[in-house]
Amino acid sequence: MTAADRAVVSGRLTSQLLAGVPAPTPEDVVDRLLAVQAQDPRGARLAVRSRSSGVVASDIDDALTTNRSLVVTWLNRGTLHLVTANDYWWLHPLTTPQLSVSNNRRLRQEKVSAAQAEHGVAIITEAVADGPQRRQALRTRLDAAGIPTAGQAFVHLLLAATLRGHVVRGPMIDGEHAFVSVEAWLGSPPPELERDDALARLARRYMAGHGPAAAADLARWAGITLGDARRGVAAIAGELVPFGDGLLRLADVGDVAPLPPPRLLGAFDPLLLGWTSRELFVGAHADVTTDNGLFRPFALVKGRVAATWGLSGGVVSIRPLERISAVALRTLVKDAANVLHFLGLPDRPAIVD
């Protein structure tokens, strides 16, 4: 790795809260990253763990359920993301309109007619107005009304209701994420941002959690056009400084921190999802991401992927992908104990395969 590459790695790790001072609360982590991919619930929680201090998984559940400060919903690239309640209001109209075309197409493919889709969205919206609803309760209502739910039809009906701004995933109920009415759960929306103002805010917040980066990285991460990404970056040009090789960084974010100690990161960690290329972090271990779109849990050593890991039967298993020093392995084993503590599991020695 060149000196320039090491500088980019250190800068991005600092922006991601993986180097330097960790965040004190789940909300602070999510606010910094703006949106944390969350189709893997444990992975989203572990993303918060690795960027915070003194936080446990139940704190995230409290933020979702009691404080209503975090929600999960489809945003950006059409993927579930964990965001703050405040950021939902402007991210949703900015990053989701283009998703409706593919959503309508998938509904037709799943044998849900346009009329059935409209009826199904109305049923979901009416149900959540009565309070938080679990998936099976919503499916039962749709089935009773004759709305197709087989295959992926049910998921895309939920997506349709979400894209129209009616529902989000809010509280945890018996370990399951329940759907709620946006207005009832989050209250009245703030004044809507003009699109150019929203793009500027998006660029600023993205750079805070991902810089150094370029407009193309923003476009890829947010699922917006390159033209819109460039408009957003141009709008905050006075707040940015060059970082070399066409990359930019916010001028007022402080110094880049040294590389962090070895650490275990979860599935779909934001570190592998924030830019057009993840090569600087994965190096020769590109298979940490699979052809069918899975992102494995991995260990970060000297700022790069050096192992994968898993949790089965309450035991963490670490599988090195290259030679790792004894000191680094001991640090990873210690971090594995922190993973178990974070998840509320009994302390058991990690296994190094």
Decide if pLDDT at 312 tops 80.
yes
Mean pLDDT of 232-252: 96
**Paired tokens of 60:** 């995230």
The answer to whether the beta carbons of residues 319 and 292 sit under 8 Å apart is no
Distance between CA 311 and CA 351 in Å, rounded?
Answer: 10
Give pLDDT, residue 1: 78
What value does the mean pLDDT of the chain take?
96
Q: What's the pLDDT band for 261 if we cut at 50, 70, 90?
A: very high
Confidence of residue 290 (pLDDT cuts 50, 70, 90): confident
pLDDT of residue 292: 77
Instruction: Say what the pLDDT of residue 327 is.
Output: 98
Please report the pLDDT score of residue 254 as a whole number: 86
Q: Say if residue 291's pLDDT is above 90.
A: no
Residues with Cβ within 8 Å of residue 351, at least 6 apart in sequence:
315, 316, 317, 318
- Among residues of the chain, what percentage have pLDDT more than 90? 94
Region at 211 (left for phi over 0; alpha for psi -120 to 50; beta for the rest): beta
Measure CA 289 to chain center: 16
Q: Is the dihedral of CA 329, 334, 340, 343 positive or negative?
A: negative
pLDDT one-digit tens code per residue, 159-186:
999 999 999 999 999 999 999 999 999 9
Q: Which of 202-216, 227-241, 244-258 has the lowest mean pLDDT?
A: 244-258
Nearest CA to 242 out of 1, 38, 7 is that of: 7
Summarised one tens digit per residue, pLDDT across range 13-50 is 999 999 999 999 999 999 999 999 999 999 999 999 99
User: Per-residue pLDDT tens for 216-234?
Assistant: 999 999 999 999 999 999 9
Place of tokens 């009691």: 66
What confidence score (pLDDT) does residue 348 get? 97
Mean pLDDT over 117-134 rounds to: 97
Residue 114 confidence (pLDDT)? 97
Instruction: Measure the CA–CA gap between 302 and 18, rounded to whole angstroms.
Output: 12
Is the model's pLDDT at 307 over the cut of 90? yes
Instruction: Tell me the one-letter amino acid at 207.
Output: M
What whole-number distance in Å separates Cα of residue 202 and Cα of residue 94?
A: 9
Question: Does the pTM exceed 0.85?
Answer: yes
Report pLDDT for 208. 98
- Specify the pLDDT at position 179: 98
Instruction: Give CA–CA dist 58/249, Å, rounded.
Output: 34
